[in-house]
Amino acid sequence: MLRAFADLGATDTTCFVGQWPYRLSAAADVEGLHGHADRLGLRSLWVSHLASLFGFDTRTGNEAVLAACADDPLFRVFATIDPRDPSWQDELDDAASAGAVGVRVAPGFHRYEVAEVRQVIDACVERGLALQLIARLDDARVRHPLSPAVDVEVHRIADLVRRSPPHPLLLSGLNRADWLELNRHLGDAAPEWLRLDLWHVNGPTRVADRLGDDPERWAFGSAFPVQTPEATALQLAASALSPAALSAITSGNAAAMLA
């Protein structure tokens, strides 16, 4: 089944370089990311640095991931931005000049109100950069007690979407129930430019089959190395999704966000 998934040539929209602080085995360098891509037949990885979530600043991790990945055609670097930093716009410009094609924000890690992401969206619109919002990277039920992370409330995300201009936005770490709640908050009329990754949408094969109801909404994302990617890959490979739906979910929707 992994070979069947590899034949799809997917884009992984949620990857990281660096060390997850709470599990020794959850780490990846550039070589490890290439191994991840080879194992799953991935053609492109969207990557940022875990140090930008846990360090004293975001710039150090951004500079490290750009130095390691920006010249490698496998990678699309997403700079992590914290809008509380007075110099975040300068940091964003530096990252874009160095090759970043998108931005990640993580209000649940950096502990600020989701509404503050709006100014980052405006900056991304001006610069033609896609935006990814990390809603969670691990399950709160097994989160390390020293972790600073909190799950972002779905209704706060809905408020942000409602007040934002049309611009590519990928939500990472929501599950199917979260998506249904988010769509209800949006009056069952979520904008077409809003998409979600899949690493937290796991379960029986029939869960993946339901993605066929709205295949334009989803993009493959593994949260590697924080999460094990095979669960999501196998779920898609074993699903009854049409070839067109699989193509959209594994690569087409991600490509549209960077177009």
Q: Which long-range contacts (CB under 8 A, 24 or more apart) does 64-70 make?
A: 64/17, 64/18, 65/17, 65/18, 66/95, 66/98, 66/99, 66/100, 68/17, 68/29, 68/30, 69/17, 69/30, 69/33, 70/98, 70/99, 70/100
Dihedral angle at the C-alpha atoms of 222, 42, 235, 143, nearest 10 degrees? Answer: -10
Maximum alpha-carbon separation in the chain: 49
pLDDT digits (tens, 9 = 90+) for 111-130: 999 999 999 999 999 999 99
Say if CB 233 and CB 208 are below 8 A apart: no
pLDDT digits (tens, 9 = 90+) for 141-188: 999 999 999 999 999 999 999 999 999 999 999 999 999 999 999 999
Give the model's confidence band at 8: pLDDT under 50 very low, under 70 low, under 90 confident, else very high: very high
What is the reported pTM? 0.96
